[in-house]
A and B are shown apart, each in its own frame.
Chain A
Amino acid sequence: MNHSLAFVLLLLAGIVVAADTTAPARAKRPPPPPAYLEECGGCHAAFLPRMLPAASWRRLLQDLPHHFASDASLDAVTAGEIERWLVSNAGDASRFPTAPAEDRITRTRWFTRQHDEIGAKTWQRAAIGKPSNCTACHRTAEQGVFNERDLRIPK
């Protein structure tokens, strides 16, 4: 093997070793598997696992070919990986006495309560369209951040 190639490979290994020792220190919750961001986040906001109870996530992941009138089918290995992560980080059972209608985040009690000051006219604005369009107002929703400071309701 020539020397410059060996050097590049060593550098690569060094980056991996360094990343491995520094990354976990900050993360409070386990980060989403890349497959979640790629497969689910490809079509809609990467919703947080705690937004639904485990039973809802299980049902959704077991029926991806009929996902809210869309085919979101996935190979079993990837779907299983995503399901395990969602279920193990799902909303606490005490917050969800029953699963929301149709397992929709927008039909949970916490969602309704948090958005009770938003009128029907507001939801219908062109830039919003419907309650599931998180990023229309929560500009940092893609990063999983939903605090009020980053909230802007488009006119």
Chain B
Amino acid sequence: MNAPNRSARLHRIAVLLATFVAAATSAHAESPAQIRDGYARLAGAPPQATRGQQFFGSRHGSDWSCSSCHGSVPTVTGKHASTGKAIQPLAPAVNAERFSNPTKVEKWFRRNCNDVVGRECTAAEKADVLAWLLTLKP
């Protein structure tokens, strides 16, 4: 009597857990190309990789550029310009975790654009940078 009850309960927990995991991952997982296209749609224009590369390397009138921490070609490990902490490669071709979670992507664009550009980046700028990053190969 007791054992089937326990197994039914475990089964219910397992189903709930699996549903939760599936919901949590599917709601957020996107490919870098999908995220790029989302920004391009918001911008209302196709992204330009060369413009993205220029933006990435430019200091925008302040001390830092994106490449200050990520390196000028971010297929390799970067280094935080202030703390010295290692920063995993940004190019999706080298690091599959990059640009897979739109919420995380937005959070880092918000923080880092404020640090580098002194304002939030536009959708067009994000699309350009991502378009360039997607051209980088290992």
**Chain A residues packing against B (C-beta within 8 Å):** 6, 9-10, 12-14, 16-17, 43-45, 65, 68-74, 129-130, 132-133, 135-136
Judge whether A44 and B14 touch: CB under 8 Å: no
Q: 8 Å CB contacts to A: which residues of B102-118?
A: 107, 110-112, 114-115
**What are 16 inter-chain pairs, A to B, with CB distance below 8 A?**
A6-B11, A9-B15, A10-B10, A10-B11, A12-B14, A13-B10, A14-B10, A17-B10, A69-B82, A70-B82, A70-B111, A70-B115, A71-B110, A71-B111, A71-B115, A73-B111
> With a CB–CB cut-off of 8 A, which chain A residues contact B15?
9
Judge whether A12 and B85 touch: CB under 8 Å: no
Interface string of B81-117 (1 = CB under 8 A from A): 0111100000000000000000000010011101100
Given A10-B10, A17-B10, does the pair A132, B17 have CB atoms closer than 8 Å? no
Q: How many B residues are at the interface, by size bracket? A: 10 to 19
Closest 10 pairs (CB-CB, A-B)? A13-B14, A9-B14, A71-B114, A44-B83, A71-B111, A133-B84, A13-B13, A9-B18, A13-B10, A10-B14
Task: Say whether chain B's binding surface is mostly helix, strand, loop, or mixed.
Answer: helix
> With a CB–CB cut-off of 8 A, which chain A residues contact B114?
65, 71, 73
Judge whether A9 and B11 touch: CB under 8 Å: yes
Q: How far is the CA of A71 from the CA of B17 in the complex (A)?
A: 35
Judge whether A16 and B17 touch: CB under 8 Å: yes
Q: How far is the CA of A41 from the CA of B13 in the complex (A)?
A: 32
Q: Does B41 contact A (CB under 8 A)?
A: no
**Candidates B10, B83, B110, B111; contact of A132 at CB < 8 Å:** B83
Given A12-B18, A70-B115, does the pair A136, B10 have CB atoms closer than 8 Å? no
> With a CB–CB cut-off of 8 A, which chain A residues contact B10?
10, 13-14, 17
> With a CB–CB cut-off of 8 A, which chain B residues contact A17?
10, 13
> With a CB–CB cut-off of 8 A, which chain B residues contact A43?
80, 83, 85
